[in-house]
């Protein structure tokens, strides 16, 4: 099986590259924007036709949530049009698209874990662009697996963990919102799941059951405040975290107040054991200390 990974320089793309083992009946190809710009419709089609991958995993995305409010066209160019280009190429070559989306597409006001069948109500430009990408993918190809993930962090690239460590080294106190609740997700856990999913796609008989929308995050629930407190604990930084309301820290883009997701569908489909977010945070930090 030949696998193409777009967005190779994203934090998830880099984590996925670390998870891949040589051989195992799979040939992996990782390409960043300089080699494969998913917004280039003709370039994407030519690239996919030339490589003839069995599976395309799209980790490329516009992820600047606040900046997207001023760069709406740029966000939609990547998160909608780029996904449409990949889905069209996948449909033309008979391959399978695994596309990464976000918990931000939910936010319909409910306060119990979201299932994939629940109504979506994306608010900000980033969330709307990601939802538009989902719609394009599902419209253009039958062979699509959409993974809605949440609160990604890891040892590589810019993310909440890296920001908290930096600020925790610079400040004695740090205000963090406590009224936005979700599930932190370690990129390595998500990457391991993607490797397992790709392996399952080898079996053509299983493929139909692996199409459609799936939620994935680490287990457990946290506010950003809870997450920040846990980061200071595992890193040993003396910075005190102060709980504040979102209204006290206004941002250009509105974030969901509750985006916890039900993962029973992906657990059942792949037979997964999903680690708790605190367990994964500790494992992530142990790796960063080495």
Residue 157: its pLDDT value, please?
81
Residue 21: its pLDDT value, please?
81
Residue 239: its pLDDT value, please?
97
Rg (CA), the chain: 19
Residue 245: its pLDDT value, please?
97
Catalytic residue at 126? Answer: yes
Residue with tokens 């799941």: 193
**Mean pLDDT, 10 residues at a time, over the chain (290 residues)?**
96 95 84 96 97 98 97 98 98 97 92 95 96 97 96 93 96 97 98 97 93 98 98 97 96 94 98 97 92
In 3D space, the residue among 116, 117, 133 whose CA is nearest the CA of residue 125 turns out to be 133
Measured at the alpha carbon of residue 215, what is the angle toward residues 60 and 9, in degrees to the nearest 5?
20
Residue 26: its pLDDT value, please?
87
Strand partners for 147: 100, 214
Residue 22: its pLDDT value, please?
73
Tokens of 39: 């917004």
Residue 109: its pLDDT value, please?
86
For the beta carbon of residue 99, count every other beta carbon within 10 angstroms: 28
Q: What tens digit of pLDDT does each residue of 159-169 get? A: 999 999 999 99
Q: What tens digit of pLDDT does each residue of 35-73 get? A: 999 999 999 999 999 999 999 999 999 999 999 999 999
What is the distance, to the nearest Å, from the Cα of residue 60 to the centroid of all Cα atoms in its chain?
10
Q: Residue 99: enclosing H or E segment and its boundaries?
A: strand 96-102
CA distances from 136 to 27, 97, 185, 262 (A): 27, 12, 25, 24
Residues counted in the chain = 290
Residue 159: what are its φ and ψ, rounded to 5°?
A: -160, 180
Query: In sequence order, what are the residues at sequence separation of 6 or more whose Cβ sits closer than 8 angstroms to the Cβ of residue 234?
Result: 281, 282, 285
Determine which one of 62, 106, 114, 126 is catalytic: 126
């Amino acid at each position: 099986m030949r696998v193409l990974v777009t967005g190779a320089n994203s934090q998830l793309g880099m984590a996925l590259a670390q998870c891949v083992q040589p051989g195992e009946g799979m040939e992996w190809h990782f390409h960043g924007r300089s080699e494969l710009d998913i917004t280039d419709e003709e370039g994407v089609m030519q690239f996919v036709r030339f490589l003839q991958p069995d599976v395309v995993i799209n980790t490329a995305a516009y992820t600047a949530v606040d900046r997207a409010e001023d760069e709406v066209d740029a966000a939609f160019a990547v998160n909608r049009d780029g996904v449409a280009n990949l889905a069209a190429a996948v449909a033309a070559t008979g391959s399978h698209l695994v596309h990464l989306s976000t918990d931000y597409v939910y936010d319909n006001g409910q306060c119990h874990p979201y299932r994939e069948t629940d109504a979506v109500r994306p608010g900000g430009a980033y969330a709307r662009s990601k939802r538009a990408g989902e719609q394009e993918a599902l419209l253009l190809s039958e062979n699509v697996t959409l993974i809605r993930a949440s609160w990604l962090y890891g040892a590589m690239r810019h993310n909440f963990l890296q920001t908290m460590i930096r600020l925790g080294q610079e400040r004695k106190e740090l205000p963090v919102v406590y009224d936005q609740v979700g599930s932190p997700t370690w990129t390595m856990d998500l990457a391991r799941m993607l490797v397992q999913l790709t392996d399952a796609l080898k079996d053509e008989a299983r493929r139909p059951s692996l199409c459609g929308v799936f939620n994935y995050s680490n287990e457990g629930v946290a506010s950003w405040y809870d997450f920040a407190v846990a980061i200071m604990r595992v890193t040993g930084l003396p910075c005190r975290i102060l709980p504040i309301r979102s209204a006290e820290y206004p941002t250009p883009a509105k974030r969901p107040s509750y985006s916890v997701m039900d993962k029973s569908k992906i657990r059942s489909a792949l037979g997964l054991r999903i680690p708790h977010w605190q367990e994964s945070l500790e494992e992530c930090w142990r790796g960063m200390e080495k």
